[in-house]
Structure 1
Amino acid sequence: MNLKKIVIPFIVLGLTSCKSTTSVNKEINNTPKNVILLISDGTGLSQISSAYYYKDSTPNYSRFENIGLIKTSSSQQDITDSAAGATAFSCGVKTYNGAIGVANDSTNVENIIELVSSKNIKTGVIATLAITHATPASFYGHTLSRDSQEKIALQLTQSRVDFFAGGGLKYFNDRKDGQNLLKTFEENEFDVNTNALSDFSTIESSKKVGFLLSKEGMPTMEEGRGDFLSNATELGIQFLNKDNSSFFLMSEGSQIDWGGHANNASWLISELIDFDNLIGKVLDFAEKDGNTLVVVTSDHETGGFTLAAKKKKREDGSEYRDYSEIDPTFSTGGHSATLIPVFAYGPGSEEFKGVYENNAIFHKILKVTNWGN
């Protein structure tokens, strides 16, 4: 009996110690070193659902376990635009439609790239439209109107962004003020390529890198854009992570939104599938790396997109819905106020479950990374 009295406390102590150690390790593993934010502009649940019917392979959306929903209304409107939606992600504040990196009172707000760059964290932005367009601009720029793309272009040359890729060349070298901002890039230690994405070996020694590969937006997938989005993102990850640095990267599938505005289902679906391929590439990196948080979401839904049953006619002329065939349809040429899914993978991803406001994504990223401290 005396032996039991001696041994049992040690067993209990040992179990307690093991539990404590496991808890500490779990806490360490839940702090991501890197964050990749993927934004599919204009994408709601029906757009995502289309991948499950039109993609030849299993969609990469199926690889997520932690899923939430965001409310997307801007500060003054029930239905947001991309500028206010992206500013919520990049700056953590609700603002008015059209605003880039400014609060509802029009004052500048520090964005996540400015915040983390001061901590020696590398940063990048990628888009399939102009790099000066609303979503990417909100991660480095500050202007009262998203339409001020020449002003936004100048701000990019002066920004703390380390890597960027997209279109919009004309806002840098064909400007109303006559400035050639490609020279300004050089003065600010950017190596900018206007021809094609390069191999990592050719940019490895560069301090900052940019790619401006079309006059305005990049070509559509149907026009032969190919794997630009996935390749640019993979190149960006290589560059930002080259010295094993921590990094933040935002990559946008921009033209899902344009397909929705045009009520063009094939445009929309081809862009959505391209974005899903991007998700696969990023998750492959994150799974291998083990220290990267991946967050996938959208600023809003566009088009009131629906995967409806095909409308057909009988021999007598009466109409019916054929539930065995899908007919993608639209209810609007603009945006809608539907809740938007959030998918998260990696350390800290549990934080992104639930239903919350869109600007909470900014605060959740800072919370799980400790970048806000």
Structure 2
Amino acid sequence: MKIRFLILLLSFTIIATSCVSVQVSDNTVTPISADVKKPKNIILLIGDGMGLSQVSTAIYYKDGKPNFERFHTIGLSKTSSASDLITDSAAGATVFSAGVKTYNGAIGVDKDTIAVPTIVEQLSKEGYATGIVATSSIQHATPASFYAHVKSRRMYEEISEFAPNSGVNFFAGGGLKFFNQRKDGKDLLAEMKAKGYEVFTDQLPQTPSEKNELILLAADGMPKMSEGRGDFLPNATKLALEKLSKNEKGFFLMVEGSQIDWGGHDNDADYLIKELLDFDKTLGVALDFAKQNGETLVIVTADHETGGYTLASDGKDYNKIKPSFSTTGHSGTMVPVFAEGPGASLFNGIYESTEIYYKMMALFNK
């Protein structure tokens, strides 16, 4: 009996020492094997409003193999917010940035409007490099949720005031008017410069600065692809990676294909498709970097699906696709999660969207 007890005790000891745990949103604990290789860097790419039909668009409309097909780990995320069955982008991004389910419209605060620390803030304090890139303004719901804390996503000027002390090393997107054409008359560009940022408002620089960077190339959101935005998103991502990878400790970079969502809201298939293909091209930049680097995890997901978008047949012609929409708002469908690199296996399965935050933090040993 004593020998059996010792064997059982040894077995429990081996199991306990071979796993670390990840706390998730419902206060349960998910075991992570110690055999899982941890990344030095994480790139989180968010296709705003990107459901499975949007992803499938890359298969049918891209000339060549989509970068989505380079991923070997795929999961599904449940996206409801604390207030609604169907989330908005603010609550949908706060789950990634801070690991809490909150009310629609919340930016970096919980359902009681109490500020919650974001992954960017936590990692910046630990000496990691951090970056935020978007095709919206940097004050828009998704990017804002990674560095600001306000009760409403529409508080753009208040969101901007968090930027100087955010610890973010690299900003790129739109939103210039919320820095230099403010109702309160403040000159936040001067404040950013005083905090050590180099500010660019005319074009994307060719090489990274030695200073922190604020790159604002539009008054509000960036132009559509159809309006000549060009390769801003892949090039800004490449520039961010070149800069952040100089940090010996590691980095976290969030990149948003913001306007996939806007095409869905407009029920404009051409708009959506062009933005999705631009996002897929950006995935290629991230995956190429990760492949060469060897210590980088690439995660691709969405905050929610927009438009109830489907790739339907054109009537009875099953050789012709006619994209269609069922709503001008969001839908409650689960969204895909793609992962490639060290730690990717953790992202298999079906889980609440908050788990993405906890899995990332566990891989950073936080």
Question: Common fold, TM-score beyond 0.5?
Answer: yes
Q: Give the letter aligned to residue 149 of structure 1.
A: Y
Aligned equivalent of 1:106: 113
Q: Partners of 2:121 and 2:217 in 1: how far apart?
A: 25
SS at match of 1:295: strand
Q: Partners of 1:107 and 1:290 in 2: how far apart?
A: 38
Question: CA contact under 8 A between 1:29 and 1:291: conserved in structure 2?
Answer: no
Question: CA contact under 8 A between 2:305 and 2:331: conserved in structure 1?
Answer: yes
Aligned equivalent of 2:322: 327
* 1:224 shift after superposition: 1.0
Aligned equivalent of 1:13: none
Q: Give the letter aligned to residue 241 of structure 2.
A: I
Q: Where in structure 2 are the equivalents of 1:1-373 lying within 5 Å?
A: 30-200=37-207, 203=209, 205-206=210-211, 208-311=212-315, 321-370=316-365, 372=366
SS at match of 2:227: coil
Q: Give the letter aligned to residue 76 of structure 1.
A: S
Name the TM-score, length of structure 2 as normaliser. 0.90
Q: Partners of 1:187 and 1:367 in 2: how far apart?
A: 35
Name the TM-score, length of structure 1 as normaliser. 0.88
Cα offsets for 1:269-289 (capped at 9, x unmatched): 000000000001100000110
* 1:242 shift after superposition: 1.9
Q: Can you give the 5+ residue segments of structure 2 that lack an aligned partner in the other structure?
A: 1-17, 19-32
Cα offsets for 1:159-192 (capped at 9, x unmatched): 1111010001000000000111100101111111
Shift >4 Å, 4+ stretches: 26-29
Cα offsets for 1:276-311 (capped at 9, x unmatched): 000011000001101001100000000000100103
SS at match of 1:37: strand
Q: Give the letter aligned to residue 189 of structure 1.
A: G
Q: Partners of 2:288 and 2:34 in 1: how far apart?
A: 23
Question: CA contact under 8 A between 1:111 and 1:140: conserved in structure 2?
Answer: yes
SS at match of 1:232: helix
Q: Give the letter aligned to residue 129 of structure 1.
A: S
Q: Give the letter aligned to residue 233 of structure 2.
A: L
Identity %: 55
Aligned length: 335
Q: Give the letter aligned to residue 351 of structure 1.
A: L
* 1:148 shift after superposition: 0.1
Q: Can you give the 5+ residue segments of structure 1 that lack an aligned partner in the other structure?
A: 1-19, 21-25, 312-320
Q: Give the letter aligned to residue 69 of structure 2.
A: S
